[in-house]
Amino acid sequence: MAKVFCIANQKGGVGKTTTTVNLAAGLARVNQRVLVVDLDPQGNATMGSGVDKRAMPMSVYDVLLESAGIAEAKCSADGAGYDILGANRELAGAEVELVQLERRNERLRTALAAVDADYDFVLIDCPPSLSLLTLNGLCSAHGVIVPMQCEYFALEGLSDLVNTIKQVHANLNRDLQIIGLLRVMFDPRITLQQQVSEQLQQHFGDKVFSTVIPRNVRLAEAPSYGQPGVVFDPSSKGAQAYVEFARELVKRMGSLGKPAKAGAAL
Ligand code: ADP
Ligand code: MG
């Protein structure tokens, strides 16, 4: 059975897409079968996986409106070793169209059920909002991975996301839990980042992943080459950290579902 994870944070520019494509490529490197679902109309995960969002024959839009299944609408992220269900501007329209349709929260979940046996992991790159698209992601997922920068206001936005996740858990998807917080774009030379990082660990215990993703320019350069950093420059510090994160996640899956020792606040 595929483990389905949303990469979510309602802030923009916090590293959701970078985490999605690099974790996907990292998981592929450790022999996992991975599907990325791009749920952001900006289509950054699509382009960052080497798929031209303007030239795709089909996308996640067709899947949400049930005019295609995932098996026919997905593309292959050439060279990165995973599949991707792409997104483009069309998806912004889907949000409006979905409002009037039945089962509007569950469309992605239904579509994913049909390809469940084909993957070990499904990673859903969510848009920077708590919209109907994000809701479709949260209703489909077993868990949420929250990338965050260790900055002063990082925790503020977190409470909105945690509340949304609690509500979805209570009303729509009993499986949903927070898998963990991932510290990204980390610069150990900045004292404030170290302090916030320590606070996160004190507060959330083992809900904070032990892998830390450093700020690394190769990760930022990779999308313009249509590749995840893990593929673009595997020896870079950023790429190595994401492969390490993939290993940590695979290991954690053994304990998924058991109550966390700490991090009661989540
Ligand atoms: P989001 O999807 O949350 O909007 P992105 O993944 O697109 O965020 O990241 C925002 C910007 O930060 C992008 O330009 C990206 O290349 C850059 N970036 C992300 N992670 C890192 C990192 N670890 N080191 C350096 N730049 C990064
Ligand atoms: Mg993004």
pLDDT digits (tens, 9 = 90+) for 234-261: 999 999 999 999 999 999 987 544 444 4
Within 10 A of 135 (CB to CB), how many other CB atoms are there?
A: 22
Question: Is residue 265 in a domain?
Answer: no
Residue range(s) defining the domain that contains residue 77? 3-255
Report which residue type is found at 227: Q
pLDDT (tens digit, 9 = 90+) per residue, 149-160?
999 877 777 888
pLDDT number for residue 129: 86
pLDDT number for residue 237: 98
Mention every residue, 6+ apart, whose C-beta is less than 8 A from residue 87.
38, 39, 40, 41, 42, 43, 45, 46, 53, 59, 60, 61
Question: Is residue 264 in a domain?
Answer: no
Question: Is residue 16 in a domain?
Answer: yes
Question: Is residue 40 in a domain?
Answer: yes
Query: 183 CB less than 6 Å from ligand 1?
Result: no
The domain tally of the chain equals: 1
Which ligand 1 atom lies nearest to the CA of residue 216? 24
pLDDT lower than 50: segments of the chain: 256-265
pLDDT number for residue 265: 43
Report which residue type is found at 134: T
Find the 169 Cα to ligand 2 centroid distance in Å: 24
Which of 17, 18, 219 has most ligand 1 atoms within 8 Å of its beta carbon, as the pocket-test mutant?
18
pLDDT number for residue 263: 40
Burial class (CB in 10 A: 0-12, 13-18, 19+), 100: exposed
What is the C-alpha separation between 8 and 215, in angstroms, rounded?
A: 19
Question: Is residue 196 in a domain?
Answer: yes
Nearest to 247 by CA among 76, 81, 118, 121: 121
The predicted complex's ipTM stands at 0.99
Question: Is residue 116 in a domain?
Answer: yes
pLDDT number for residue 261: 42
CATH number reported for the structural domain that contains residue 123 in this entry: 3.40.50.300
Question: Is residue 266 in a domain?
Answer: no
pLDDT number for residue 155: 78
Question: Is residue 48 in a domain?
Answer: yes
pTM: 0.95
